[in-house]
Structure 1
Amino acid sequence: MQFNLSKLDDVAEIIDSLHKTPQYSESGYPMVRCTDVKYGRLNLEGTLRVSEDVFLEFSRRYKPKKDDIIITRVGSYGITSRVYDACFCLGQNTAAIVPKKINPEFLYFALNSPFIKRQIESAVVGSTQKTLSLKAIKELDIPRFNDDLEEEIAATLGALDDRIISLRETNATLESIAQALFKSWFIDFDPVKAKAEGREPEGMDADTAALFPSEFEASELGLIPKGWQAGIIQELCSRIESGGTPKRNEPSFWDGGIPWLTSSEVRSVIPLQTNEFITQSGLESSSAKLWPTWTTVIAMYGATAGEVCLLSSEMTANQACCGLIPKVAYRTYVFLIARRHSRVLAEKASGSAQQNLNKGLISNHPVLVPPASVAIRFDDVISPLVKHWVTNARHAETLAELRDTLLPKLMSGQLRLPEAETLVEQAA
């Protein structure tokens, strides 16, 4: 397939954001900042909020529409998101790309192709904080095919993205189900309240209901079910330990077959792969430890402090990660209670230059300790959901790898569309 080149400025309008820091509010309108921009659909759930006056001020240059593209310009530059929900204003260090004479989905995939990424890398300036200028964005060369072919390429790659989004949405639902049951049993104590009122607990069989008491008692955590304990995270784990880093100047310690997790990778709720790997000798010659499946990992340093993930396979980690190896009865309980306490743990971080947690703060963090019999029954219900979650995550990763393989080949004309469509059908 042959293609031509068009400047991005010829097929889209590029609109800069205001170069100022706003006053944020506890409620109001979403403002999209660089940290909110990630590949795929723009998610507004975690955005900071601004008042109506600030929203109107930052909306003067740009009013979002569905299928627009947001791109980051400073720090983590060149990252793009597609607009679906258009109710937001644009924060500083970002820009909007409004497609005019091109299929928006095709343009989005083109912007994420290696062909464009190489242009972006050569265009950024700055040593301490790299910046992608508005001029450089406008001058990006976009590969162009005929309109029908561009639509077909967009549809083929879009089918993969849609399936990936569906799998991730399913996983979000699975976590919501797990958290809802956790809240019912261990936060609201619904089964205990029902028995205290002479009712049968809803949604459980008689054997499960019999595990719950019918009374409450006072504790350091407030009223808790009688016989349960107010304890600390350490009591739920067989061990708690931080990771380590093999010597960087020893080549034999690196590029082996053992996954080595960093705190930034803890952002993935179930990390399936790591960017770096170490060898057995690297493991044995450092303070890194091999953590088993079902280990809950909490990031301790910097911007990710308090983030929580669950290991679905054996991994090691660096010293910025804390591994909670649970007692068997509490494996799902530890993960979900850590997820619920993520923000509280992050608030415990201390340090002048960088906000840090440590193993002691995590180990001694106060939590409810239910009887092992209750935790086991909870695990019986929740662990199949977690396993389904892992299966979906692996499938989504496989589809993402296929998309990333097809993308440069389609954009460069190396792969014919019918061949790509066959690969997509086989993977889906």
Structure 2
Amino acid sequence: MCYTGSGGTPKSTEVNYYENGKIPWLNSGELNKTFIISTTNFITELGMKNSSAKLFPSNIILMAMYGATAGKTSIVSFETTTNQAVCAIIPNDHLLFHYIKFSLDNMYRYLVNLSTGSARDNLSQDKIRDLNTIIPAERTIRDFSNTVIILFNKIKNNHIQNQQLSSLRDWLLPMLMNGQVKIE
């Protein structure tokens, strides 16, 4: 029903793997948001080539596998690489995308319990692949998806606009404070 994969971390002491990087790279700590529309972390082609980092497509589900965020899911709206603590979940049928996201969110408590017991909370790709959920009839899934996609797109666009407004505020506020710009 889904393909899964995880990434990797290029050697942090190798400057050429990060400096002037243009490939987005996410870690599990960033999976506290429903939608991920940007990141501040980037790696280079060389960093991706010399690590187990993989480039995942946009509009997929990411799940944190380790630590405090284990079991949290996010939707990433851009192509990205991830570290090894993130599992990419890509439905074979895109019609199931939103349904699977909600199903995984509903399993969060179960996933937290599943990940405990070691020195560090840990979910594996095997545990994630072994999860079972009931899939409704195709027509029901289609109706659900058609309704939810409109709402998800509105929420995603609101996140993008909020980020743009925050950037504008951060650019404009210092100029207002030092008198470069005045409001009439």
The two structures have a TM-score, normalised by structure 1, of 0.40
Q: RCO (CA 8 Å, sep 6+): is it higher in 1 or 2? A: 2
Shift of the 347–417 alpha-carbon distance from structure 1 to 2, 3 Å rule, reads farther
Structure 1 match to 2:83: 318
Percent same amino acid at aligned positions? 36
Unmatched 5+ residue regions in structure 1?
1-234, 422-428
Shift of 1:373: 4.2
Check conservation: 1:294, 1:326, Cα contact below 8 A.
no
Structure 2 match to 1:340: 106
Structure 1 match to 2:8: 244
Separation of aligned partners in 1, 2:157 and 2:22: 22
Shift of the 338–415 alpha-carbon distance from structure 1 to 2, 3 Å rule, reads farther
Unmatched 5+ residue regions in structure 2?
none
Larger Rg: 1
Letter in structure 2 aligned against 1:362: I
Q: Deviations over 1:104-142 (max 9, x none)?
A: xxxxxxxxxxxxxxxxxxxxxxxxxxxxxxxxxxxxxxx
Shift of the 406–391 alpha-carbon distance from structure 1 to 2, 3 Å rule, reads same
Separation of aligned partners in 2, 1:270 and 1:390: 7
The secondary structure found in structure 2 opposite 1:260 is: strand
Check conservation: 1:308, 1:339, Cα contact below 8 A.
yes
1:296 to 2:61 alignment: yes
Separation of aligned partners in 2, 1:376 and 1:282: 40
Letter in structure 1 aligned against 2:112: A
Check conservation: 1:263, 1:320, Cα contact below 8 A.
yes
Match of 1:307 among 52, 62, 72: 72
Separation of aligned partners in 2, 1:267 and 1:275: 15
Shift of 1:375: 2.1
The secondary structure found in structure 2 opposite 1:241 is: strand
Shift of 1:353: 2.6
For residues 6-405 of structure 1, the aligned pairs below 5 Å read 235=1, 237=2, 239-254=3-18, 255-327=20-92, 328-405=94-171
Separation of aligned partners in 1, 2:98 and 2:27: 22
Separation of aligned partners in 1, 2:172 and 2:157: 23
Q: Deviations over 1:389-408 (max 9, x none)?
A: 11111000001112222333
The number of residue pairs the alignment matches comes to 182
Shift of the 348–414 alpha-carbon distance from structure 1 to 2, 3 Å rule, reads farther
